[in-house]
Amino acid sequence: MSKLTREEIISMGIMVERGQSKSSTARLMGVTEGTVRYHVGRLNSGAVDGRRKPFLIERLGLGVVVREWWYAQEAILCSKRPPSVKSLLEYLQNEHDYQRSYKSVLRYARATFPAPKVRPFRRVETPAGAQSQTDWMEAAIDIGEADGPTKLYGFLMKLSHSRYPALVWSRSKNQLAWLHCHNQAFKRLGGVAAVNRVDNEKTAIGRGAGAWGVVNKVYRAYARSMGFHVDACEPRSPEQKGKVEREVRSVRGYLAGRKFSSLEELQECTDAYLATSARRRKCPATGKSIEASWEAEKALLTPLPKKFPEPFDLVRTCPVHKDCSIRFEGRTYIVPFAYVNRQVEVRGCSGFIEVADPASGVLLVTYSRGTSELINIDQSCYEGISTEQVMAPKPLGRMSRKLQELAKSPVQLRSVDFYAQLAEVAR
């Protein structure tokens, strides 16, 4: 028989005190009558368990100090939350030269003071198209590589209403991978929910956490382009994205003991597994299959863009000068003249940069990234009609047009006659 708890011993004493015989109490508790007689006798005599060693705080004579601090904190906090054991440790270290560990203070607090109140969390069923939940999972999977199981990251996005999931595998969790996986997940879901609930990864929340966190600048620009709002969970609150957390456990169960020939086969197999699971499982919100619920929800998702934003790891807001130029990573780029004296958003992608309208996210122009040339000009940026605020630049003159022709022709075809023609234009 397992050791009786303090509550069970007290229950014995209460039953006997109310007139129940020791033998009937023993039968109800599943113990011998002698056990009941022993514990009830100790309760009546007020005996103390001599086997318990005093806590370190008691041995140092700090028990009264700790209790006074704790009760003072309870009065200040007014039951909003329990006093902080970490703050108590800092107080003892600063005021009483306490040189012991945090765990020693935690053990004493748990044994001395009542357990804090349990705060239940509210369950909410989100409407169709309103929310998706996103999370990373990490797994070591055998994908046929020589070094054995490979460390991979699974990006999971799940629609909160229909529970339809999308899983994208990646070798990295960096900013480029984060945005790339978003693109692939949105394609699998067939649209974009209004709100995406995320964890406090640095690729999502640049500073702080939860409702007080500041969204990563790169991710904020991406979310604006795709048309969704970023909603971060509170720290250490996995229940706030419980639907996607549940899917992580399901995928781990599927992967247990499986081997794959490549990363591509892994992706194909998990896509097929999730599709089959969606046909088999029911959606609690609708009572229909997850697949049928997802088909109905797709009509309420924001439609996918014709061209997805390229993953980028750097974003800057740059002023546009009078010559239609901006400065980015030590180079000069020309942007459409209509944005003179305004600002544009520049995104550093893999191998090229994108210049976009900061308000709408519309792509304006692209250039190669990290070129040896320090100035990059797209003459089409000077073309077009005037706007209410900006006049169209003057067209190219005869000399400029000839120079453009010279620049476009291969060097071996630039004959002496061609340069002679330039001299004629200049007269």
Structure-block tokens of residue 163: 């529970």
User: In terms of domains, do 253 and 380 share one?
Assistant: no
User: What pLDDT is recorded for position 361?
Assistant: 80
User: In terms of domains, do 140 and 286 share one?
Assistant: yes
- Give the domain CATH number at 183: 3.30.420.10
User: In terms of domains, do 197 and 291 share one?
Assistant: yes
User: In terms of domains, do 216 and 238 share one?
Assistant: yes
User: What pLDDT is recorded for position 408?
Assistant: 63
User: What pLDDT is recorded for position 58?
Assistant: 85
User: What pLDDT is recorded for position 114?
Assistant: 83
Structure-block tokens of residue 146: 């020589």
> How many domains in the chain?
5
Name the residue range of residue 86's domain. 60-112
Structure-block tokens of residue 69: 């601090």
User: In terms of domains, do 283 and 427 share one?
Assistant: no
User: In terms of domains, do 182 and 330 share one?
Assistant: no
User: In terms of domains, do 337 and 189 share one?
Assistant: no
User: In terms of domains, do 290 and 193 share one?
Assistant: yes
User: In terms of domains, do 334 and 269 share one?
Assistant: no
User: In terms of domains, do 387 and 401 share one?
Assistant: no
Q: Does a structural domain hold residue 14?
A: yes
Q: Does a structural domain hold residue 118?
A: no
Pairing of strands 131-141, 195-198: parallel
User: In terms of domains, do 293 and 350 share one?
Assistant: no
Q: How far apart are CA 111 and CA 6, in angstroms?
A: 13
Q: Does a structural domain hold residue 125?
A: no
Structure-block tokens of residue 59: 């041995």
pLDDT per residue as tens, the chain (427 positions) = 567 777 788 788 888 888 889 888 888 888 899 998 888 888 887 766 666 678 888 888 898 899 899 999 988 888 778 899 999 999 999 999 998 899 999 988 988 888 887 778 777 789 999 999 999 999 999 999 988 899 999 999 999 999 999 999 999 999 999 999 999 999 999 999 999 999 999 999 999 999 899 999 999 999 998 999 999 999 888 888 999 999 999 999 999 989 999 999 999 999 999 999 999 999 999 999 999 999 999 999 999 998 898 899 899 999 999 999 999 999 999 999 999 999 999 999 988 999 999 888 888 999 999 999 999 999 899 999 999 999 999 887 666 666 666 656 665 555 556 555 555 555 5
- Per-residue HEC secondary structure of the chain comes to CCCCCHHHHHHHHHHHHCCCCHHHHHHHHCCCHHHHHHHHHHHHHCCCCCCCCCCHHHHCCCHHHHHHHHHHHHHHHCCCCCCCHHHHHHHHHHHHCCCCCHHHHHHHHHHHCCCCCCCCCCCCCCCCCCEEEEEEEEEEEECCCCCCCEEEEEEEEEECCCCCEEEEEECCCCHHHHHHHHHHHHHHHCCECCEEEECCCCCCEEECCHHHCEECHHHHHHHHHHCCEEEECCCCCHHHHHHHHHHHHHHHHHHCCCECCCHHHHHHHHHHHHHHHHHHCECCCCCCEHHHHHHHHHHHCECCCCCCCCCEEEEEEEECCCCCEEEECCEEEECCHHHCCCEEEEEEECCEEEEECCCCCCEEEEEECCCCCCEECCHHHHCCCCCCCCCCCCCCCHHHHHHHHHHHCCHHHCCHHHHHHHHHHHC
Q: Does a structural domain hold residue 122?
A: no
Q: How far apart are CA 42 and CA 47, in angstroms?
A: 5
User: What pLDDT is recorded for position 343?
Assistant: 95
Q: Which amino acid is at 278?
A: A
Q: How far apart are CA 407 and CA 401, in angstroms?
A: 10
Residue 192 backbone phi and psi in degrees, to 5: -125, 125
Distances (CA, A) of 83 to 66, 96, 296: 11, 19, 48
Q: Does a structural domain hold residue 126?
A: no
Q: Does a structural domain hold residue 25?
A: yes
User: What pLDDT is recorded for position 6?
Assistant: 74
User: In terms of domains, do 404 and 261 share one?
Assistant: no
Nearest to 343 by CA among 331, 360, 329, 357: 357
Q: Does a structural domain hold residue 117?
A: no
Q: Does a structural domain hold residue 119?
A: no
Structure-block tokens of residue 39: 């514990």
User: Exposed e or buried b for every residue in 372-384, given b needs 16+ CB within 10 A?
Assistant: eeeebebeebbee
Nearest to 65 by CA among 99, 95, 110, 100: 95
